[in-house]
Amino acid sequence: MTEETQSQIERTLVLLKPDAMARGLAGQILARFETTALKVVGTKMKWMDAEFTRKHYADLEERLGSEVYNMTATFMQQGPVMALVLEGYDAIATVRKIVGSTYPDQAPAGTIRGDFSHMSRGASVAVGKAVANLVHASGNREEAAQEVDLWFAKDELFDYKTLAETYNC
């Protein structure tokens, strides 16, 4: 593998949010990633407490205000979350493409949010709740590195070859 090829291999964090877990969609969502040759190199379930939620969403309050942060924190603490570290070529962009737009009503069919969710920003504001959009996905390399480090210790991440890597599929 060349250095250039290796530099395109990324790791990214994906969270299956409480609504995905409550609806029993974890398997279907995970399958979407695996069928695109993204490799699961770490996984765990966690119930986010207030302190951990604050760490994960450290800049949300500053960017979008206290109301958005509080709605998001309440939503993320209502049930368990499944955290995944996915690895592959251009994994960050690939995951975001598979996930779809933040607002499910704007996500195209064929994306996780477009197929399994429906909430609009307007509905979220009207009911005073966070957008139930099933999945969190890191936005860029810096964010992915910070989030993976927050959620996973080095010994919780695995290096192995998949069949697709072995046969260059």
Q: Which residues are catalytic?
A: 136
Q: Measured at the alpha carbon of residue 7, what is the angle toward residues 86 and 89, in degrees to the nearest 5?
A: 40
Q: Is 169 exposed, middle or buried (0-12, 13-18, 19+ CB in 10 A)?
A: exposed
CB 13 within 8 A of CB 138: yes
- Structure tokens that stand for 99 in this block: 């996930």
